[in-house]
Structure 1
Amino acid sequence: MTILVIAEHDHASIKVATLNTIGAAAVVATFTNQPIHVLVAGHGARAAADAAARVAGVGKVLLADAPQLAEGLAENLEATVLNVAKDYSHILIPATAYGKNIAPRIAAKLDVAQISEVTAVVSADSFERPIYAGNAIATVQSLDSIKVITVRATGFDAVATEGGGASIETIAAPADAGVSQFVSREVTKLDRPELTSANIIVSGGRGLGSGEHYREVLEPLADRLGAALGASRAAVDAGYVPNDYQVGQTGKIVAPQLYIAVGISGAIQHLAGMKDSKVIVAINKDEEAPIFSVADYGLVGDLFDCVPSLLNELNAHQ
């Protein structure tokens, strides 16, 4: 038996979350001594398959290329995976919107329990995953013959994009399931790094008071640091920024090298999304704010004074 990673890709390259998932598969492989295969399903996706073949630790790439796989419809991807699932003991997929759309269907059709948001591998059949908004860690053991796992990317280091030399095998794609169709996609174009893969994130909360203040105060700091912009749920709900900025249990899970939280009180659901950041800096006028309980550095003060002062210091030492 073998380990299968279902790749999230853009038809030309492999998404970073897939590299983290391959990292998780590599840990599983230390217990099972099994090779790792990667499935690339799409249309015109040979470049993505080539990229996957170069990834360190990958033994084989399966390429399913057909028009009905072009837009990643869950029903067609599910059927593609099920065609080869019997050959694998573990099927791993990133715990992104892409993965969460596909994994439950695969698990249901295989009649196995899905193991969600895995952050550590204990053994070949036991895994750790956060529960209660990350306030507790559950160790889950699965006795299913095929284990369907979604991997929280922040729990594993990404593997190297170069160094591998896997073979590429073309597999047949099932016919279009015909139960759904792709209508349109609106893609947000960012001038800054993407939130889930950024090394530095500047995030704002309700303390900023308005969307105008959010932009005036945080954008110059983010520009200076080359950072992505994030927000708390309260800031998103108040309409300061779109919901794709949201960090937290109901938003995006991040773990950058540096996370700067400005005017964020630190509700449990927000902390669940960012507390694995390597260094956390909190700026808040309330010295009792929960955000300070996870912060490596805390600055108690008015953000409208503190952030411009911080920016001035950065500019003075550039």
Structure 2
Amino acid sequence: MTTTTTPQVASRWSRFRSSYLLYSFKRDLVAQLSLVVFIALVAVAVLAPWLAPMNPYDLAQIDIMSSELPPFWIEGSDPAYPVGTDAQGRDMLSTILYGARVSLIIGFGAVALQAILGVSFGLLAGYLGGRVDAFLMRLADIQLSFSTLMVAIVVGALVKAIFGGATFSAYAVPLLVLIIGLAEWPQYARTVRASVLAERHKEYVDAARVMGFTSRRIMFRHILPNTLSPIFVISTVQVANAIIAEAALSFLGLGMPETQPSLGSLIKSGFDYLQSGSWWITLIPGLVLVVLVLVINLLGDWLRDVLNPRLYKG
């Protein structure tokens, strides 16, 4: 077993080292910095329970008498709270770490749902064609005629009205994943459909049909691997869009509740205190959100350029 797998692994590693992907990454300082910042943000978010000075979900650790303390560089700060506290007396550093964790979970979860729905519908529409194609693409066109945020607001308001505010708050994360995922699947469907239309008449697909393979196997085992490049690019951008959508919904009161911090709910919770001078409650989570979305978009732009064969210089 070792003698057969080791050369394969070595061969794959050798191909990766000589690939244009790695070559381009080594020459792109912006992509390198973006990846480092993104990995750092993901790491501190994942390790929030161990890195955060306090647990913002634990009411016993919250001291209302310590509310609205400024960051360490402003007079009147407390060394125990390096970036200050919010109006509830929660440590801002802890809430940002936990909030970034929630935002990333929603972002990646929503994109996973979008990809599953969009890729499946795109494969069916492009490969089967006919009425299936017409129905799925008209459904996508109808949804795309509305803005993503509008669809998310309508669905979120309906879910909140049907199940009630308390139930929505208790299951806010999976519900937001569902809402944002359902609002964005057409992006994947249309892209995958276009790729399938270009692939389905090629010789390897005809050979698979002649060999008697099922349509399901041809779509998922043969055509889908040749459409992964645009899927990777879309996924990178969609993670940033999903995080922004969650922040927007939370700011409008249709997302995460203030008792369960996300970057969006943190921005909303401090918005009412801007005029009182406690600007850090909104500004610092807002800056973290901007940096997170920015590095994801920069990585997406780099990946789009690298995976675009028209830009390959050889």
TM-score normalized with structure 2 length: 0.21
Asked which structure has the greater CA Rg, the reply is 2
Structure with the bigger RCO (C-alpha within 8 Å, sep 6+) is 2
More helix by share: 2
